[in-house]
Amino acid sequence: MGRNPAAVVKGSPRKRTTSFDGSFIPVERFVPTCEIRLKWPIPVMLSIVVGKPVWTTYRMEQKKNGKRNYQLKECSIQDLKSDSITLSNPGALSSGTDNRNIVDDGSSQKLSMEEIVNLRDEGLSSKEIVGTLIENSKTFHNKTEYSQQKYLKKKEKKYFEYVTVRKPTVRLIAEIMFRLDQGKIMGLRVDTLSQINTAVNLHSHGKYIVYESGCQGLASASMLNGLSGEGRLVLVHSGNYPQKHALLALNLTEEQENCLISVNIYNLLRKLKGTCGSETQTASVDTTPVKEGVESSDVSFEKEVDSSEVSVKEALSPGQSLENVTDTSETDVKDQVITNSDQESTGSGKRKLSESGNDDGSAKKKSRWEVETDRAAGLLSSQKADGLVLVCREHPSSILNALLPLVAPSRNFVVYNQCREPLLDLFTELMKNPNVINVRLTDTWLRYYQVESNRTHPLVNMTGSGGYLLTGVVVDSGEK
């Protein structure tokens, strides 16, 4: 499946009244017949949202005919208000002053698990279910007001299902990706992502290089979002195709797509050195080692380091071996490109080309990657870049050494890594480089707060690390 989200769907019950506790689901390949899986493993058709304005909220409702068969129904603001128990009758519930008489003996809820499940299957509305739960709770009326609110919030979250369709923005995409699986984006947290754009001094008209591997295009999406039509972003990658998940999620305009040039690092450096032979030769030579390198490093990485990622992938495609998992991710990337070119109405010819590899048919006409390589090399050899960003799984040192000469003096570079150690290596190395100054190694700390009257405190859970950044300025010292 290719991924082409056109909208960000946020599922959250009390989203409209409380802060920041929704779950986010990106819609994969948005078409009218698209289905999403929210809380239950039951698909819900999204056809209803087509043609409706963004920010419309829908309620998941059980269809009359069958068990666990849901459909979306548009909600008006009035519906939402009357749905919410806490909003529709605030202060109507009696409450206790403290918990001295509440004993947790497992018997406070008179209804059994089966009875509650039956309520749901009978097609009772979520509000009715929660009402029944309260009626049958021995302790609810003795709970303090705060504790009641917490209880309701929990129950509303469990039994109410709302979906709000939102326009994708970098902020939402970054939050979703971090929340869903931070391993897939190398733990690149929003605060660190935001530091990258300022550290590289991102101007809308500038020309920037980003080398990205292992963060699903998030860093390049965030940079591209800051460029106007005059800006250029050269997205350098080591495989056949860049990872564009986040970029595709952004719904790029044509103008933005024109700002983006993706190029394989080997092809780019070869081209810039001027050592490449005829175009056909390059094509057949480069694909094999590059592909192997990616595959082997991917496999070993998943085996040794990130077992959680493997389990996620296996869960998605059960019955596949580890090698197959890697293969799927490869095809996945290919598919993304296919969908991309499909949109540009090149159609089935392109599809054939990518399926059978790059060397097919390139003798006659330059393939897309060759055109892109020429474009990138032309851009970077005519004038040096205004900044360089590295967000990579590989050790950054060799990549930085190769790309830093392409950056103009008095411009900044930023290297992100989830671990501090490779950046320490890089730091000591750069101290010896006369053409780099102002090298700094930093990390940022991020804490969220619950702000309610008389109950303000930092959130109980926080993330331990958002990754590390090494920043510096390229200068021309006159030395080599």
Residue 201, token pair as written in the block: 């001094």
377: which 2 tokens?
């090399």
Q: How near is the Cβ of 478 to another protein at its closest, in Å? A: 6
Nearer to another protein, 351 or 384 (CB): 384
418-447 positions binding another protein, by CB under 8 A: 420, 424-425, 427-428, 437-447
- Are the CB atoms for 296 and 261 separated by under 8 Å? no
User: Which is nearer to another protein, 321 or 456 (by Cβ)?
Assistant: 456
Question: If binding is defined by CB under 8 A, does position 171 make contact with another protein?
Answer: yes
* Closer residue to another protein in complex, CB, 174/338: 174
49 binds another protein (CB under 8 A): no
Nearer to another protein, 127 or 420 (CB): 420
Q: Residue 352 contacts by C-beta under 8 Å, 6 or more apart in sequence?
A: 360
Most distant CA pair in the chain, distance: 84
Residue count of the chain? 480
257 binds another protein (CB under 8 A): no
253 near another protein, rule: CB under 8 A: no
Distance CA 79, CA 338 (A): 42
User: Quick one: 38 or 193, whose CB is closer to another protein?
Assistant: 193
Stretch that binds another protein, among 113-121, 308-316, 338-346, 470-478 (CB under 8 A): 470-478
**Minimal distance in Å, beta carbon 428 to another protein?**
6
Phi, psi of 38 (to 5 degrees): -90, -120
CA-closest candidate to residue 261, choices 226, 285, 288, 237: 237
Rounded least distance, CB 477 to another protein, Å: 5
Least spacing, CB of residue 440 vs another protein, in Å = 6
Q: Count CB atoms within 10 A of the CB of residue 419.
A: 12
Give the ranges where 235-321 is alpha helix by DSSP (H). 245-249, 254-259, 265-273, 279-304, 307-316
CB of 169 to another protein, least distance (A): 5
Token readout for 205 is 């008209």
Q: How far is the CB of 98 from another protein (least distance, A)?
A: 24
Minimum distance of another protein from residue 184's CB (angstroms): 20
Number of residues in contact with another protein under rule CB under 8 A: 68
User: 3-class SS at 160?
Assistant: coil
Q: Which is nearer to another protein, 263 or 436 (CB)?
A: 436
Does 120 engage in binding with another protein (CB under 8 A)? no
Q: Site mask, another protein, residues 328-357, x = CB under 8 A?
A: ------------------------------
Distances (CA, A) of 104 to 108, 139, 140, 141, 442: 7, 9, 12, 15, 47
User: Which of 56, 109, 132, 147 touches another protein by CB under 8 A?
Assistant: 56
Report the nearest approach of another protein to the CB of residue 50 (Å): 18
What track of x and - describes contact with another protein for positions 57 through 86 (by CB under 8 A)? Answer: x-------------------x--xx-----
C-alpha dist (Å) from residue 453 to 146, 450, 456, 457: 11, 10, 7, 10
> Per rule CB under 8 A, is residue 37 in the interface with another protein?
no
Taking CB under 8 A as the rule, does residue 448 contact another protein?
A: yes
> Amino acid letter at 6?
A
From residue 208, alpha-carbon distances to 262, 264, 384, 390, 445 in Å are 12, 15, 9, 11, 27
Tell me whether residue 149 or residue 267 sits nearer to another protein (CB atom). 149
Give the footprint of another protein on residues 208-227 (CB under 8 A). 225-227
Find the binding residues for another protein in span 5-24 (CB under 8 A): 15-17, 19-20
Q: Which is nearer to another protein, 269 or 473 (CB)?
A: 473
Q: How far apart are the first and last CA of the chain?
A: 49
Burial 421-455 (b: 16+ CB within 10 A, else e): ebbeebbeebeebebbeebeeeeeeeeeeeeeeee
3-state secondary structure of 464: coil
Indicate which single residue of 92, 315, 451, 460 sits in contact with another protein (rule: CB under 8 A). Answer: 451
Distances (CA, A) of 268 to 61, 201, 222: 53, 24, 23
Per CB under 8 A, the segment of 192-200, 208-216, 328-336, 338-346 that binds another protein is 192-200
Which residues here bind another protein, judged by CB under 8 A? 15-17, 19-20, 53-57, 77, 80-81, 169-171, 190-191, 193-195, 197-199, 201-206, 225-228, 230, 386, 408-412, 420, 424-425, 427-428, 437-449, 451, 453, 456, 473-478
